[in-house]
Structure formats: C-alpha cells, structure tokens
C-alpha cells in the first residue's frame, strides 16, 4: 500500500516540478517577447512539428537533430550518475568532455589508420584520457581528503587552458581565420546514420549501448553495487568490508571515461575540425540529466531526450522569435531547484504517510484481535 502510494506521489511530484520549471520559463518568455504565444509554440512543439502555410507537419530532420543533441549529454549524464551515486560531487565531467574532444580531434587529424578503426582508436584513447584525468580529484579525495568539488572545478579551467595552449601553439591551422585544427581525416569522422545534416551519428547508438552497459554495471555487478552502497551510507559500506577508497576512485574514473568518450564522439561527429575554444557546458547539463534521472542510468536517455528537445525548442524560439537561446539555462536552473527539492510538496507526502501508517496500524489491530491477541511480534 505504502509503496504504491509513494511511487505515485513521486511521479506526480516529478511532473509538477517540470511543469513548474516550464512555467517559470513561460513567465520569462512573456516578459521578454513581443509574441510570447508564438515563442511558446516553438519551444513546446516546434522541435518535432513544422509550421508552414500549408499546415502543420511532422519534421523528421528536427527529430534527428534532437537525437544528435542527446549524444554528448547522455554520456555526461551517465558520468554524473555514476559519480553522484558514489556521493562524489565531482564536477569535472565538463573538463573531461573537452579533454576527450581535444584528444580525439587531434588523433583524428594526425593518426594514420586507413579504416573505420581510426575513429574507434580516437574514441578509445579519448576515453582513457578522460579516466586518467579523473584520477586527480579522485586520488586527492581518497588520499588527502581534499574536496573533490573544489579540485574538479579548478581542474576544468586547467584542462581548458592546456588544450588551448596546444591548440594554438602546436596544432592550429594558420590559414584559417579563427583558431582550429586541420580537418579530420575522413576515416576518423563518426558516420551519420541518416541522410541530411542532422549530425545524428553512430554516436547515438554508442550512447544507448553505454546506457545499457552502465545500467548493468550499476545494478548487476559487485562494483556498481559497492558504488551505490557507498553513496547511500559510507560508514555502512566500510563496516561491511567494502573497499571504500578504491571504489570511490573507480566511480570517478568511470565518470571521466564516459565524459571523455562523449566528448570525442561529439567532436568527431559534429565538426570537420577541432574548434572548441571554451568549455562546452555538457558537464553541467549532465548534472541536470542525472537529477532528472534520479541517478538511475536507465532513465538517462529519457532525460537527455527531454533536455535535447528543450534545447532545440529554445534554438527555434531564438531563430524565429525574439527570445534569446539562453532561455534554456533559466529552465534548467528551475528544473534543478524544483526537481531536486526533497521537501517540494512534502506536506502532501506527510499526510499520505500518516494516513497509510494509521491504516497499517488498524489492520494490525484487527488482525491481532482476529488471532485472539496471542502473538504480537
């Protein structure tokens, strides 16, 4: 009884939080736009529907673009899920995406492998690099007790400037107006799955595979189990005999690997050259996604779709209306605040608990009376 009611309650609360966040977005749209209703239409249904004079029609290219948008944020979402599950507030997924993209991109330009393995090698090396980077905050946390939050934040900037340094002084194509590398070799480019310019590449398949893998890892293996238990109660895990330190390191290294992989798939799938000159922001979006998915990897693609959809909506809104694309940050912040709020609608929850407990107690009493009041364990 209790469990069912609570599941219903949790779903209701999640929906209410998202609705509220969108409501906040709507308020800003009404404040800033001369044509708020059109803007809202673009935001909410624009991403899959085209409006033409002839009427309304389904737009497959847009849908593909949303799927393409899911690729990097599914990876960072998974990365954050794993790290947050271990109760590690590591925020360096951002830096690892950039590092992965940079390493993958450079290898895409300079490595000579004349087959599809080229791309595979690029992505795998980027994955390893992401994992290695995360060793820094992870080991500092475990060995010295430094806050992984602060060290990972610093690390993001350090990674950015190191990548920028190498890009500018070693790998830049001087013939171009802005700073970028020479073009990737065709063998390194992640192939598209559909015709057109949507950038929906093989990356989306890898992302979904990674989701399945990580979901299994977290819920069907001893390591994932340890990570989750440590995240729930570190003392309990220590006392049960789990290797707390190495598991905390493992969680962050896996997070870094996922982020690195996502970064390289994005760079090699979306662009012809490496050209990121700032942190791409996918790491932060990953946190939003992990919150929406409640740290459960299985829900990450759904959450990533939702965010990619909103992203596309905001993009359309800024293209065809007068609402800046940064609307997405306001909506995301609101999702963050309401969705992660434990006490959001708590009064309602407490009433449910009290009601259920009263019923349980009454049931117990009745049962006891029926049994003649003899046993009461």
Partner 1 sequence: MEQNELVVQMKGISKIYPNGVAANRDVNFSVKAGEIHALIGENGAGKSTLMKILFGLERPTGGEIIVNGEPVHFSSPTDAIEKGIGMVHQHFMLVPSLTVAENIVLGMAPRKSGLFIDYKQAVDLTKEYAEQFNLHVEPTARVADIAAGMKQKVEILKALVRGARVLILDEPTAILTTQETVGLFRELKELKAKGFTIIFISHKLNEIKELTDRITIMRGGKTVGVYETDSITEQEISGLMVGRDVILTVEKDQSEPKEVVLQVEDLNFVNEWDKRVLDGVTFSVRSGEIVGIAGVEGNGQRELVDVLFSLKLPEKGSATVGGKSLIGLPQAMIRELGVSYIPEDRMTFGIADIATIEENMISDRFNQKRFNRGPLFKMNELHKETDQLIVDYSVLCKSRSQEVGMLSGGNIQKVVVAREFSSDPILIIADQPTRGIDVGATEMIRKRLVELSRAGAAVLLVSADLNEVMELSDSLIVFYEGKIAGYFDDGQWDDIMMGEYMLGLKRQSDEEIARASYA
Partner 2 sequence: MLSLLQSLFKPDFLFAVLRITAPILFATLAAVVAERAGVVNIGLEGMMMITALFGFLFSYWTQSWVLGVLGAIMVGVLLGLMMGFFALKLKTDIILAGIAINMLGAGGTIFMLNMFTGLRGNTGNLVSPNLLIPTIQIPLINKIPILGEILSGHAVLTYVAFLCVFLVWILIYKTPIGLNIRAVGENPDAASSVGVSVLKIKYIAIGISGGLAGLGGAFMSMYYSQGWNSGMVAGRGFIALAAQAMGRGEPVGAMLSSLLFGLAQALRTKVSGLQGVSSFLVSMIPYAATLLGLVAYSISLKRKARKHVIKVVKN
Decide: is 369 part of the binding site for partner 1 (CB under 8 A).
no
Closest CA relative to residue 85, chosen from 184, 215, 206? 215
Over the window 312 to 351, marking each residue x when it contacts partner 1 by CB under 8 A and - when it does not, the resulting string is: -------------------------------------xx-
Listed residue (88, 38, 27) closest to 334, CA to CA: 27
By CB under 8 A, tell whether 377 contacts partner 1: yes
Q: How far is the CB of 191 from partner 2 (least distance, A)?
A: 32
> Smallest distance, Å, CB 153 to partner 2?
4
- CA dist list (Å): 150 to 49, 147, 154, 250, 375: 43, 6, 6, 19, 56
CA separation for the pair 122, 32 (Å, rounded): 44
252 binds, among partner 1, partner 2, none (CB under 5 to 8 A by kind): none
> Which residues face 201 on adjacent strands?
192
Among 14, 26, 194, 234, binds partner 2 (CB under 8 A): 234
Please report whether residue 165 would count as binding partner 2 according to CB under 8 A: yes
Closer by beta carbon to partner 2, 105 or else 269: 105
Residue 14 in contact with partner 2, rule: CB under 8 A:
no
Contacts with 297 (C-beta within 8 Å, 6 or more apart), sequence order: 78, 81, 82, 211, 214, 215, 217, 218
Residue among 59, 146, 272, 356 that touches partner 2 (CB under 8 A): 146
From the list 99, 142, 190, 291, which residue makes contact with partner 2 (rule: CB under 8 A)? 291
Which residue in the block uniquely carries the two structure tokens 């559909």? 194
User: Phi and psi at residue 34, in whole multiples of 5°?
Assistant: -85, -20
Residues 189-228 that bind partner 1 (CB under 8 A): 216, 220-222, 225-226, 228
Check residue 80 for interaction with partner 2 (CB under 8 A). Answer: no
24 binds partner 2 (CB under 8 A): no
Contact 68, 205 (CB under 8 A): no
> What is the nearest approach in angstroms of partner 1 to the Cβ of residue 231?
9
Return left, alpha or beta for 245; rule: phi > 0 is left, psi -120 to 50 is alpha, else beta: alpha
Residue 305 burial (C-beta neighbours within 10 Å; 0-12, 13-18, 19+) = middle
- Site for partner 1 contains 358 (CB under 8 A): yes
Is the torsion defined by CA of 306, 313, 283, 196 positive or negative? Answer: positive
Q: Which does 268 bind (CB under 5 to 8 A by kind): partner 2, partner 1, none?
A: none
**3-state SS, residue 90:** coil
> DSSP class of residue 181?
B
270 binds partner 1 (CB under 8 A): no
Q: How far apart are the first and last CA of the chain?
A: 21
From candidates 60, 120, 354, 362, binder to partner 1 by CB under 8 A: 354
What residue ranges bind partner 2 (CB under 8 A)? 28, 31-32, 87, 89, 91, 140, 144-147, 149-151, 153-155, 157-158, 161-162, 164-165, 168-169, 233-235, 238, 244, 278, 281, 284, 287, 291, 324, 326-330, 332-334, 336-338, 340-344, 346
Q: What are the residues binding partner 1 (CB under 8 A)? A: 2-3, 216, 220-222, 225-226, 228-229, 232-233, 235-243, 349-350, 353-354, 356-358, 360-361, 375-377
């Amino acid at each position: 009884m209790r469990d069912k009611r609570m599941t219903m309650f949790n779903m209701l609360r999640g929906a209410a939080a998202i609705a509220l966040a969108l409501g906040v977005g709507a308020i800003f749209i009404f404040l800033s736009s001369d044509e708020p209703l059109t803007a809202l239409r673009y935001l909410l249904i624009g991403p899959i529907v085209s409006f033409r004079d002839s009427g309304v029609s389904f737009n497959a290219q847009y849908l593909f673009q949303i799927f393409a948008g899911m690729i990097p944020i599914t990876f960072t979402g998974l990365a954050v899920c794993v790290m947050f599950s271990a109760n590690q507030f590591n925020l360096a997924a951002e830096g690892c995406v950039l590092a992965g993209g940079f390493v993958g991109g450079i290898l895409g330009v300079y490595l000579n492998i004349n087959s599809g393995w080229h791309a595979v090698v690029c992505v795998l090396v980027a994955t390893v690099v992401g994992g290695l980077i995360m060793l820094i905050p992870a080991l500092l946390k475990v060995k010295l007790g430094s806050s992984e939050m602060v060290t990972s934040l610093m690390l993001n900037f350090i990674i950015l400037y190191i990548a920028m340094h190498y890009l500018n002084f070693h790998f830049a194509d001087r013939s171009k107006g802005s700073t970028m590398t020479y073009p990737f070799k065709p063998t390194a480019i992640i192939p598209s799955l559909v015709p057109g310019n949507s950038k929906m590449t093989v990356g989306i398949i890898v992302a979904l595979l990674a989701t399945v893998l990580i979901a299994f890892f977290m819920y069907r293996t001893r390591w994932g189990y340890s990570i989750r238990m440590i995240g729930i109660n570190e003392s309990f895990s220590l006392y049960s005999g789990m290797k707390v330190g190495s598991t905390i390191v493992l969680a962050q290294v896996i997070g870094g690997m996922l982020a690195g992989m996502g970064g390289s798939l994005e760079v090699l799938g979306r662009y012809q050259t490496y050209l990121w000159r700032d942190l791409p922001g996918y790491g932060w979006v990953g946190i939003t996604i992990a919150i929406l998915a409640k740290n459960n990897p299985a829900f990450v693609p759904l959450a990533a779709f939702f965010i990619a959809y909103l992203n596309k909506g905001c993009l359309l809104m800024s293209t065809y209306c007068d609402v800046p694309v940064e609307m997405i940050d306001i909506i995301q912040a609101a999702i963050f605040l309401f969705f992660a709020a434990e006490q959001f609608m708590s009064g309602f929850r407490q009433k449910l608990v009290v009601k259920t407990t009263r019923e349980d107690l009454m049931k117990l009493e009745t049962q006891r009376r029926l049994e003649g009041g003899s046993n009461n364990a």
